[in-house]
A and B are shown apart, each in its own frame.
Chain A
Amino acid sequence: MKKKVWSGNVARRGLAAVCALAMTATMLTGCGKKKEDASEGSSAQGTAAQTSSQDSDEVFTVGIPQDLDSLDPHIAQSAGTREVLFNIFEGLVKPDEKGNMNPAIASSYKISEDATEYTFTIRENVLFHNGATVTADDVVASLQRYKDTGASIFETVDAIEKVDDSTVKVTLSKPNTEFLSYCTVAIMPKDTTDAETNPIGTGPYKFVSRTALENLVVEKFDEYWDVDNAAHIKNVVFKVEANPDNIVADLEGGSIDMYARITSDQADQLSDSFEIYEGEMNLVQALYVNNAVEPFDNELVRQALCYAIDPQEIMDFVSGGAGVEIGSAMFPSFDKYFDESLNDTYNQDVDKAKELLAQAGYPDGFTFTIKVPSNYTPHIDTAEVIVEQLEAIGVTAQIKKIEWNTWLEDVYNNKDYEATIVGFDASTLNASSLLYRYTSDAHNNMFNYSNADYDKAFATAQATVDEAEQIKYYKECEKILSQTAAAVYIQDLPSFVALNSKYTGYTFYPLYVQDIAKIKLAE
């Protein structure tokens, strides 16, 4: 009878069941990848069809972490979009990899003594992607269009005038020595109406097509004005990699050739067929708290969080120790503005943190939610370490992963959050691009931070013409942010860029951009 229980038939069927289930489990692991492959297949087909009339150059595919929020450079908000649009659009001036502002569409510029009048001479024979020549009218129209979007940095612009056919003058209502760094505003044809679907710029690459949530296809612009810096690779696809877990598999599998900002763990796993470039992301990564909601409206609570968190430990977990600690809203590659001493405003001290919490009326801690964009592994990893560190002072943090567009909508625009972890980049090469957002009435002050001293210091800095003096006020601003714990500043994340060894020439910028024009086939 016992034999019957163990009969071969049953054992065989059992085995079959085990195999079937093991296969199911394997399929589960494989399903994400399979989906990628399928979509890759279709996108590759798409590009092949589009370029079949051209010479059969290879397609260089760049993985990007999220879909573009807009193709209109005057409207696009997220850094991830701007880094892509950098290849399509150019402004009067263009930053280079050393952080200099080089004349681009303007061949030269003149700044008046009191820094209120900027005069640009328009370069001759710069062509738009549609073949038209850039004129002073286009420049005036583009700057005006940008001003009309309500851009805060153009609030002080009084007048944008065409002086003659090749000269444009911008007058400011108050002196601003930094205004030149804002003149990277994209120049588009004056009759642009549909930048969202047909963006036309002057950059080294021109727009071909875009599939929402899938990719953006661009092609080398053969009549690019700056022959020395023209693109090397003909066809480039920016492919949205919504699931960060697939990056390594996709790189190895060949469906993407480059991915900027991979984690150190991912870099470790890539084979020799990839070159890893190491730099910094130029981001201010922090645990940003909503200064208007309880309990974060209490400065003591914010300071307690600062004391509870150890940036070095976070870096150890998230990036194997790489990364640079920051103590305020400024990253180290902005050398002249960065104040290293602020890193020590708070050093991890659990007892001190508990004491501050008790003083603030939360002796037993509290619970809050950290909303983290689900497509950024470093931020999610950081959040997990922070949850651990906060547990030590009795504060319970819950992580909530949300999709990037939801993050933009809920957290950034509607300020509906308690805490979040992201990194802020500098959209232009100056200190105010990082510091303006903390002023009380800034439209992008998503922290609800409000401090009269800060507003005053910032306004003074903006009005100061002398650079050394100005830097002093900006540093004052950073100090106030640090001391009032506007956010829990963590680090400038290390940036590892994986580039297929077939290609070479990746260049880091002090801005959040990917300059694909610099990439060429390896010899």
Chain B
Amino acid sequence: MKLSMIKKFKDKKINSFLLWGLILTGIMLLIVVIGIFWTPYDPTKMSASEKLQGISLRHILGTDNKGRDIFSRVMYGSRITLGIACGTMVIGAGLGTILGAITGYFGGFLDEVFMRIVDAMLAFPSILLALVIVSLFDSGNIVVMVALGIAFIPSFARIVRSEVLRCRTMDYVENARIQGASDFRIIFRHIMPNITGVLWSSVLIGFNNAVLAEAGLSYLGIGSQPPYDSLGNMLSSAQQFMVKNPICVLGPGFAIVWMVLGFSFLGEGLRKKA
């Protein structure tokens, strides 16, 4: 029985990275999903008598300066962070893929123009670009999502473009063209499925960057608004109590590491599998 399971794993080429990635991400997702329905305490409920407590059975990750349960807040904050990272990927990877596929496939003038724009965007660090967008508009989760999403477009456009360029001249594409398939059918039905491996691992790496970028932006005070703090925001406001109650920082910090590690393993696993 056991042997067959391992054999099955091997057949499906589940390597150890993928396995650990799935375990870490799975636990994290489970906690986030549970957090939607239930948290040990109300994440915004303050309690003057329980300020800055350490680890205890009552509060497994202690409490912050307003007596709020850090574990509950981490459950809640992970959700916000994850949500923003997802949104960023949908915008960044989505638009980036479309842009990359079109420019890569058609080439020519369009390609020149878009790729120079992308080059210009790549010249700025993505966080800086996001900062500019946020300061132009407003703070808030949606704006951060859009800002990071836009900042992430260039890297995806680049990756997809180079893959599409590689596939464009392959025989099966030629074949499809001879059969009279339309350009868009060729791009999305024939080429896309062949570059998903690369795409997925870069999406997961991008996901990590998005988590870290969001944490960075929140840390700078842009992004989620109190009391509904994201992990980065929690980290930022806990910083001043670092000496008094280190668990304040460790809770959200560890959650970020966990999240990023899980996605890194997943990405690495997928890359190896592909």
Q: Which residues of A contact B (CB under 8 A)?
A: 1-2, 5-7, 10, 14, 17-18, 21-22, 24-26, 28-29, 31-32, 243, 245, 247-249, 265-266, 268-269, 313, 316-317, 374, 380-381, 383-385, 387-388, 398-402
Task: Given A265-B240, A387-B44, answer yes or no on A25-B226 (Cβ-Cβ < 8 Å).
Answer: no
22 contacts between A and B (CB under 8 A): A5-B19, A6-B16, A7-B16, A10-B17, A14-B265, A18-B261, A21-B260, A21-B264, A25-B253, A25-B256, A28-B232, A28-B256, A32-B219, A32-B220, A265-B240, A266-B240, A269-B240, A313-B48, A384-B46, A384-B66, A387-B44, A400-B139
Q: Which residues of B contact A (CB under 8 A)?
A: 6, 10, 16-17, 19-20, 44-46, 48, 65-67, 139-140, 212, 215-216, 219-221, 225-227, 232, 235-237, 239-244, 249, 253-254, 256-257, 260-261, 264-265
Which residues of chain B come closer than 8 Å to A398, judged between CB atoms? 225
10 A-B pairs with the lowest CB-CB distances in the bound complex, closest first: A316-B48, A384-B227, A5-B16, A10-B16, A25-B253, A25-B257, A21-B257, A245-B239, A399-B225, A245-B240
A265 to B67, CA, bound (A): 13
Task: Judge whether A385 and B65 touch: CB under 8 Å.
Answer: no
Task: Judge whether B44 and A28 touch: CB under 8 Å.
Answer: no
Instruction: Report B252 CB to chain A, min CB distance, Å.
Output: 9
Task: Judge whether B16 and A399 touch: CB under 8 Å.
Answer: no
Task: Judge whether B139 and A383 touch: CB under 8 Å.
Answer: no
Which residues of chain A come closer than 8 Å to B44, judged between CB atoms? 384, 387-388
Report which residue of B66, B140, B235 has the largest number of chain A beta carbons within 10 angstroms of its beta carbon: B66
Residue of B nearest to A400 (CB): B225
Task: Judge whether B66 and A245 touch: CB under 8 Å.
Answer: no
Task: Judge whether B226 and A384 touch: CB under 8 Å.
Answer: yes
Taking a contact as CB atoms closer than 8 A, the residue among B46, B48, B226, B237 that contacts A245 in the complex is B237
Residue of A nearest to B67 (CB): A317
Taking a contact as CB atoms closer than 8 A, the residue among B10, B46, B140, B219 that contacts A388 in the complex is B46
Taking a contact as CB atoms closer than 8 A, the residue among A5, A245, A269, A401 that contacts B225 in the complex is A401
Which residues of chain B come closer than 8 Å to A248, judged between CB atoms? 240
Which residues of chain B come closer than 8 Å to A313, judged between CB atoms? 48
Which residues of chain A come closer than 8 Å to B264, judged between CB atoms? 17, 21
Task: Judge whether B236 and A32 touch: CB under 8 Å.
Answer: yes
Task: Judge whether B239 and A17 touch: CB under 8 Å.
Answer: no
A14 to B261, CA, bound (A): 9
Which residues of chain B come closer than 8 Å to A14, judged between CB atoms? 20, 265
Told that A24-B260, A266-B240, A384-B44 touch, could you supply 10 new A-B pairs with CB distance under 8 A?
Answer: A2-B6, A5-B16, A10-B16, A21-B264, A29-B242, A29-B253, A245-B236, A313-B48, A317-B48, A387-B227
Instruction: Report B25 CB to chain A, min CB distance, Å.
Output: 14
Task: Judge whether A31 and B221 touch: CB under 8 Å.
Answer: no
Instruction: Report A194 CB to chain B, min CB distance, Å.
Output: 29
Taking a contact as CB atoms closer than 8 A, the residue among B240, B243, B249, B257 that contacts A22 in the complex is B257
Task: Judge whether B249 and A29 touch: CB under 8 Å.
Answer: yes
A402 to B242, CA, bound (A): 25
Task: Judge whether B257 and A374 touch: CB under 8 Å.
Answer: no
Task: Judge whether B226 and A383 touch: CB under 8 Å.
Answer: yes
Instruction: Report A63 CB to chain B, min CB distance, Å.
Output: 14
Instruction: Report B147 CB to chain A, min CB distance, Å.
Output: 16
Instruction: Report B116 CB to chain A, min CB distance, Å.
Output: 31
A313 to B6, CA, bound (A): 59
Task: Judge whether A265 and B227 touch: CB under 8 Å.
Answer: no
Report which residue of B221, B241, B243, B253 has the largest number of chain A beta carbons within 10 angstroms of its beta carbon: B221
Task: Judge whether B239 and A29 touch: CB under 8 Å.
Answer: yes
A400 to B138, CA, bound (A): 10
A266 to B243, CA, bound (A): 11
Which residues of chain A come closer than 8 Å to B16, judged between CB atoms? 5-7, 10
Which residues of chain A come closer than 8 Å to B45, judged between CB atoms? 388
Residue of B nearest to A247 (CB): B240
A14 to B65, CA, bound (A): 35
Which residues of chain A come closer than 8 Å to B6, judged between CB atoms? 1-2
A398 to B139, CA, bound (A): 13
A385 to B46, CA, bound (A): 8
Which residues of chain A come closer than 8 Å to B226, judged between CB atoms? 380, 383-384, 399, 401
Task: Judge whether A317 and B46 touch: CB under 8 Å.
Answer: yes
A246 to B254, CA, bound (A): 21
A400 to B226, CA, bound (A): 8
Which residues of chain B come closer than 8 Å to A10, judged between CB atoms? 16-17
Task: Judge whether A28 and B66 touch: CB under 8 Å.
Answer: no
Instruction: Report A135 CB to chain B, min CB distance, Å.
Output: 47
Which residues of chain A come closer than 8 Å to B220, judged between CB atoms? 32, 243
A256 to B10, CA, bound (A): 60
